[in-house]
Structure 1
């Protein structure tokens, strides 16, 4: 799998093969309540007896934030439409977590008494700090000098959610060039970079009023920019608005009479999309009426990628791939069970396609209406049932019996854990171009290179690779579309955009924007995962299992359990190292991004040098052309399997008979099952057990 990566334990291990067939590798998702997905079904013959694991996940409703919305096609002076649903990263350790305060107030709540609100909710010192921070931001922007002050301002914790919502709105209305977020009930104020960009296109008054309009979110309201006779300038404004907040609003140009010039002029009008207000919190009676907007089901797939399965389902149902939401991406060469939600499809319609998708290795069950989609990471973990076949000793091992080696290895990992590497599935195992290479090209803003890598064919003679080969050799997007199977949704979406806009930097950027956000960012996350794997190996090779000064650790201090994991990360001091205050399982390493803290030792320097080798020493981990924002997160260095059980063939009548079978053609098999937390890989756990690259 990854020969260069380290091992945690010193046992000898053993050899064997996994995934000889999909039924050798069964994955059952464990939902946020700790229940195995689909465990209520009685036809899951592959799933063993009921297994439960503990874990909690906070459910959060989708929120609309104009600072975090995706790019839509814009600049064509007509109302644009959204084809995409945004999903968050699948990591379990998100760096920054914002609550729903900013959208807690319904539209039409009236003008805010801004100063009165701020005075009533903030003390004098906080008010003065806020005003000074706002003035400093404006002065820096006006002088175009490089900012030297703090990049954000904390106003402290406010317990009451309604008060936080009032404060959010009051600050944004008084200072539209600022944004506010909540981190564990603490209000944090930051500069609004989008405001700064818009200010280059329109007057300060227009920019102020536009962002106040966005924040107010009043149903059926409109905002109109001043008359603008310059078509190219109008296109730039269209593009900006649709790029920054195209999922929230839509734009259109209208001709109006210019009373001053006595002629016709053109204005850009902005209005909220109708769906914006459907996502607001509803009364219980309204929720019941809208309950069939989303349909949940259990997806069973065999020998298919998650994206492939979604492609088949969306084609049969006549909906977009972005209409599906899920908690995590599952293995391809396996039988997997996972929860999924599709919008705009009634339960009855989903039941109708059952027989049509079965021949593709897909089945759907446990179909029922729900009120909201799933989020990536909205799960406790996964249950794995694995058969390891062709068991043999390591070639250098002749001292102990194979059974002793197996029992020793499993017990070591059960009690001592394994290095929490990302598995080969993350990178496209066995592919000539791996997903992290595409992610690196996107981070370097090499859009054409990323497309070429995406369409690099494998050495297989099948319709998909024949189509990829045609594009790779000719760049003929239209001809490739005719050759590509219908279920290849990502490839077809990208090709349609390339056919329309050309295989240029701009055309390829539009092509990437045509596929769902969760798929776009998947490639960037793959690159970040590769760097994490290498960092983990460097950390263990340099310092071993001892927690040393400068390490980042996951604090388990009493009273801090309710905090997001990112807020529980701290740097180890020399005194703590000497006192052995922390264990290796508490050490975390950062997934690279724009808002992470690096270790304060050799590992931190390694990160900087490693990114420099890929040309990312100045990378901000934001790809504005694709609306990709990578804040980063933290991942625990060592993880433990839970609920471990295993079974070996029993010895027969004569002692030693079983050992002989390990070397015979009819080799013994190991049946092992365990639970892992979300974002952990069973292949990585097995690699540590077996000391064998799979």
Structure 2
């Protein structure tokens, strides 16, 4: 089931006829720099590691320092005792002394065990003033409840303990406008999900407490924004102080958290090593890419690694063959660790999930381990539940990969038959139609900053609406014959198949059916009986142009030395320019460009180079270099650092970490 070539996932066509050339993509993770582009159009960079203090709370409208006159001193002490702010020994003796007759005072016994409430008489207090008292008490004693009640012809504010919270906990009140700490996450050779999980684990935070706009490449040096609610910068900085591959900085405070899709795109700086191309041929290739663009394919990393073809698992799920899907996930592969191979062999021979799971007791929490755990808990034949129990982004990954395969296949056929021609019945975003009607041909501020503009629209993955076929609210418009003459191929979108997708009103709609039927799948099966795998669909630009591509060439002798200066290098004053030579053994081409959030840099490079981007092919190019150059990098002092390489070339994370961003990304700004 290994992915051998691009054609196996529908990547077959090119749109230009310039000469291609050979070069190695991602020979080292330091050859691939990614910087997020925020919704404000600014490129996210790590420029400061300085830790800033938490925001100063704005003063409440109710003064919590001044005790209201309606609350007596004795009542205040009892409230502190009830809330846990004060112990019984700290309470003034006078609080428990009552006057009898004359000058006789008797110490009142106090039953701490049955002390459950404090009553404050408010017979002569107005409703407005009682509201003020309630606000004061809630602010001063956040672990207590207070309610106004009538008792024995009198009115009281009755204060009691909250259930399950008998001890006093001081709550830090952050200003609403600064409630979310936002910081730059800089990482090296680790994917976003793993990096975020490490931070959450160090801080003992629950899953999904840290949020981000999109997932970045693993085999790269990347910078992106992350947000978390009411966590001090010092805590995060301290937690990551000894972690070499993760750095945090540029701390700010915002009123809202980040969500998936809250970005315009990404900026890429990429080294193409050991380039075999004449300058004139390269200039022609760049000109073609700028003018014609590239086919906006879902890249190879979308479809898993050599040991896990995610789209084939997705096909099995859509067909209802969950046993087949499980068997593919748990199929042994030579790249597996010793313990993983042992566990998979146990499953293969005995179908004993419990024994297989125990074998992985000390292993990391991989997809396979989670599947074994679910099978052991819910039954070795409960294949549906075992996949459903995976994290949502993982369980949906397989179906999304199959959707992407169909999209790639249909678009390849379209380009092969019609080239860059716009057809009657094609789809465009309604915004694009209005823009043309209004005669607004100028670029927006965001388009100029990122160089291109995309509008990928997310339709909910799981649809609860009764009328799933209602597409009147679709964001796309069908072009008439006359309208088709007014639009460019870069404005045409094709649907990623789903139950909410609207299809073109031309022959390309039939191609969707043809490719689905080859796999014995119909449109109806996309409305999966298992809700988890019921996907809505989305729309995707067919062609993307890159007018902002910049490049330069250099040479190098030592393939272990970095040629790009990362954000961390800038902070640490590490100069890599001396590694770029005017003459040397090997030629390198360094390219810099920006893409919208849903596009793959490797697919742009594919069109530029006319080269296969599958991991197997890139590995074959790497075989011409030494093992040292493939598997290690160097630190600031030139000392070699072992890389955790993945297929020695194009990233091949079997979780397909960028699927959330690509399938669920919001529309680009226009």
State the secondary structure of the residue aligned to 1:693.
Answer: coil
Alignment-derived partner of residue 373 in structure 2: 496
Whether contact under 8 Å (2:352, 2:380) holds in the other structure is no
- Matched with 2:281 is 405
Find 2:274's aligned residue among 359, 381, 390: 390
Quote the residue 1:375 is aligned against.
259
State how far apart, in whole Å, the 2-side matches of 1:346 and 1:511 are.
38
2:519 alignment partner, one of 571, 596, 614 = 614
| 2:569 counterpart residue number | none
**1:19 aligned to 22, 26, 45, which one?**
26
- 1:281-680 aligned at under 5 Å gives the runs 288=175, 295-342=181-228, 347-358=233-244, 361-367=245-251, 370-393=254-277, 402-428=278-304, 430-460=305-335, 462-463=337-338, 465-466=340-341, 469-470=344-345, 472-473=347-348, 474-484=350-360, 487-488=364-365, 490-505=367-382, 508-554=383-429, 555-558=432-435, 567-577=474-484, 580-649=485-554, 666-680=585-599
Separation in 1, partners of 2:195, 2:346:
24
- Summarize the Cα distance change of 1:336–1:475 in structure 2 as closer, same or farther, 3 Å threshold: farther
Deviation at 1:539, TM superposition (A): 0.7
Q: Shift of the alpha carbon at 1:665?
A: 8.9
CA distance 1:637–1:336, shift in 2 (3 Å) = same
* Cα pair 1:308 1:488 within 8 Å, conserved: no
Structure 2: gaps spanning 5 or more residues? 51-144, 146-162, 164-171, 445-453, 458-473, 556-582, 614-670
Query: Structure 1 576/422 Cα, relative in aligned 2: closer, same or farther at 3 Å?
Result: same
What is the number of equivalent residue pairs in this alignment? 428
**Higher alpha-carbon deviation: 364-373 or 528-537:** 364-373
- Using the alignment, how far apart are the partners of 2:222 and 2:343 within structure 1? 28
- Give the secondary-structure state (helix, strand or coil) at the position aligned to 2:217: coil
Cα distance in 2 for partners of 1:539, 1:301 equals: 39
1:7 to 14, 32, 37: 14
* CA shift in 2, pair 1:522/1:341, >3 Å: farther
After superposition, what is the alpha-carbon deviation per residue over 1:360-416, rounded to whole angstroms, capped at 9, x for unaligned? x333333455554432221100010000011114xxxxxxxx110001101111122
State the distance in 2 between where 1:8 and 1:308 align: 37
Deviations 1:501-532 (A, max 9, x none): 12223xx3333333332332222211111111
Deviation at 1:321, TM superposition (A): 4.0
Q: What TM-score, normalized to structure 1?
A: 0.56
Query: Is residue 22–residue 611 contact of structure 2 (8 Å, CA) maintained in 1?
Result: yes
Query: How far apart, CA to CA, are the structure 2 residues paired with 1:556 and 1:589?
Result: 16
Counterpart CA distance in 2 for 1:690 and 1:436 is: 26
Q: Please state how far the C-alpha of 1:7 moved relative to its aligned partner.
A: 0.4
Q: Counterparts of 1:295 and 1:480 in 2: how far apart (Å)? A: 42
1:490 positional shift:
4.4
The answer to whether the 8 Å contact 1:297/1:366 transfers is yes
* Secondary structure of residue in 1 paired with 2:549: strand
Q: Give the Cα–Cα distance (whole angstroms) in 2 for the partners of residues 520 and 368 of structure 1.
A: 34
Tell me, what secondary structure is at the counterpart of 1:557? helix
| Distance in 2 (alpha carbons) for counterparts of 1:287 and 1:540 | 54
List aligned pairs for 1:52-67, cutoff 5 A: none
Alpha-carbon shift at residue 346 of structure 1 (Å)? 5.0
Q: CA deviation at 1:436?
A: 1.4
3-state DSSP of counterpart to 1:301: strand
Shift of residue 471, structure 1, vs aligned partner: 5.5
- Over residues 632-684 of structure 1, what are the superposed CA-to-partner deviations in whole Å (9 max), with x where a residue is unaligned? 1111101122532100139xxxxxxxxxxxxx992311011100011111000
Partner Cα distance (2:209, 2:6) in 1: 35
Is the 8 Å Cα contact of residues 36 and 263 (structure 2) preserved in structure 1? yes
Structure showing greater Rg: 2
Report 1:63-212 matches (<5 A): none
Contact 1:455–1:471 under 8 Å retained in 2: no
Please report how far the alpha carbon of residue 575 of structure 1 lies from its aligned counterpart in structure 2 after TM superposition: 3.3
- Secondary structure of 1:604's match? helix
CA deviations 1:4-49 (Å, max 9, x no partner) are 5100111012111111100111111111111222344379xxxxxx
Distance in 1 separating the partners of 2:612 and 2:338 = 31
Q: CA deviation at 1:435?
A: 1.6
Give deviations 1:307-361, integer Å, cap 9, x for gaps: 3334444443444544443222222222222222346865443223214543xx3
From the superposition, tell whether residues 460 and 672 of structure 1 become closer, same or farther in structure 2 (CA, over 3 Å). same
What's the Cα RMSD here? 3.4
Q: Deviation per CA, 1:147-188, whole angstroms, max 9, x where unpaired?
A: xxxxxxxxxxxxxxxxxxxxxxxxxxxxxxxxxxxxxxxxxx
2:128 maps to none
Rate the CA distance shift 1:326–1:314 in 2: closer, same or farther, 3 A: same
In the superposition, relative to structure 1, how do residues 636 and 666 fare at CA in structure 2: closer, same or farther (>3 Å)?
same
8 Å contact kept, 2:343–2:355: no
**Residue number in structure 2 paired with 1:692:** 611
TM-score normalised to structure 2 length: 0.58
| 2:87 corresponds to | none
